[in-house]
A and B are shown apart, each in its own frame.
Chain A
């Protein structure tokens, strides 16, 4: 609960949000906890939306490095042609 929301990956944030909603719905926790959970839940949801809005697909490709292994490079090939 102490990890800042901004540091969570989408899947972590989403899973915690699901968890919080479940706790609140089962809930008989103290009011202060309810409010804290609520606040955290709203921030998680906002964070998830933000990640979905801002994320851009990163594309890399593997190229042989001549030593029997591979290197990772940015993929620069055309995608929107034709």
Chain B
């Protein structure tokens, strides 16, 4: 019996990891449980478990998150944590990568978030029909963010690379902490009142859930909802959703994505420009070529009726007639010639010289008069006797008249 093809441990683990990562729910998990085995290493990273009566979940909390906590979680403490699930292949475990944690029940941010979200949603502030389209060609872009943050750098970089033919108006504000929400509201209002901008981006780079909390503030949400200018939110990372995102006309997953959403793509525009030029050239070529064809056709037609053509036809007619004439004359001439020949032949046959050849002769006076009767001469007269090859001069000796 044939053996099944065996997995390698790495392949199987990679497969399981891929399964887990493909589940969107596991990328954004809220979880309650009791902390146990809490350890903070010298690196600052924290490792612990969350458990309840039936199960245990391994958790990792990086230093960057741990540093933002006022107090570390204690073993046995009930907490509310947020994060995503991933597989740590080396140890063959799946674990929660915590980006937010706080004691359960006390100031429950999550519950607060859900209550506010439900209330604003019920008011219709998230309704799709409230969403306005973004301007296709913004000239001035308002930006509500920290002048020192990564968000500003990312946005400037993206706009520079895509479509720098705009003006960016920064309304500086704090983006985290207690003072952030009223400042964000002021910055937004300043842009609306003063800025003459076509679209507003509200942005903040990635951070812990608490860092982003200003964007879950009701005042911020309502200021965005009131804005007469379309607002794009770009807060945190792909997985972070804030109330500001729900109210904004467009939610971009990151500040960079927000920048990309408000300006057209310069590369794409260049390509379209080139395509337009190609179409222009093609059109002009076609249109000139078409007309050339039409001109040629007309030219041919015209040539048929030109005086030159008539002259050529006339010339041809003359040639033709000349040929006929020539032919007719030739014919006539040869006919005449043959008749003349026939007549000469007959004439020759009748020539008196021929009679002389047969032995006859005729007699002439010296003046050439033909003598046909003895009565015309007297003896002693000189006469010519004409033979076929010459003549003889003789005397008439005697004459006898015959009856």
Contacts and interface: CB of A to CB of B under 8 A. Distances in A.
B167 interface: yes
Interface string B280-313: 1101100110010000000000000000000000
B31 interface: no
A57 B269 contact: no
B168 A57 contact: yes
A79 B143 CA distance: 15
B287 A34 contact: yes
B190 A45 contact: no
Nearest to B187: A62
A6 interface: no
Contacts of B166: 57-58
B164 A10 contact: no
Contacts of A24: 279-280, 283-284, 287
Given A27-B287, A60-B167, A61-B169, A80 B153 contact: yes
Given A31-B291, A52-B266, A41 B169 contact: no
B283 A55 contact: no
Contact of B276 (A27, A41, A62): A41
Nearest to B269: A52
* Size class of the A contact interface (CB-based, 8 Å): 35 or more
Contact of A62 (B153, B171, B274, B284): B171
A7 interface: no
Contacts of B277: 41-42, 45
A48 B276 CA distance: 12
A9 B279 CA distance: 22
B16 interface: no
A48 B168 CA distance: 20
Nearest to A51: B165
A31 B156 contact: no
* Size class of the B contact interface (CB-based, 8 Å): 35 or more
A58 B147 contact: no
Interface string B143-183: 00001101011001001100111111111100000000000
A55 B165 CA distance: 5
Decide if the interface of chain B is mainly helix, strand, loop or mixed.
helix
A25 B291 contact: no
A21 interface: yes
A77 B288 contact: no
A67 interface: no
A45 B95 CA distance: 56
Interface in A20-43: 20-21, 24-25, 27, 31, 34-35, 38, 41-42
Contact of A57 (B159, B191, B195, B276): B159
A21 B279 contact: yes
B41 interface: no
Contacts of B167: 57-60
A62 B165 contact: no
Nearest to B147: A77
A42 B191 contact: no
B291 A59 contact: no
A41 B172 CA distance: 42
Contact of A31 (B150, B266, B280, B287): B287
Contacts of A59: 156, 167-168, 170
Contact of A75 (B170, B283, B287): B170
B172 A25 contact: no
Given A21-B279, A34-B287, A41-B277, A49 B171 contact: no
Contact of B170 (A45, A48, A62): A62
Given A34-B287, A60-B167, A11 B137 contact: yes
20 contacts: A10-B165, A14-B137, A17-B276, A20-B280, A21-B279, A25-B279, A31-B287, A31-B291, A38-B280, A38-B281, A49-B273, A52-B165, A52-B266, A52-B269, A55-B163, A56-B160, A57-B164, A58-B167, A79-B153, A80-B153
Interface of A: 9-11, 14, 17-18, 20-21, 24-25, 27, 31, 34-35, 38, 41-42, 45, 48-49, 51-52, 55-63, 69-70, 72, 75, 77, 79-80, 82
Given A27-B283, A55-B165, A61-B172, 15 more contacts: A11-B137, A17-B273, A18-B276, A42-B277, A52-B163, A52-B266, A55-B163, A57-B166, A58-B168, A59-B167, A59-B168, A63-B172, A69-B194, A72-B169, A77-B147
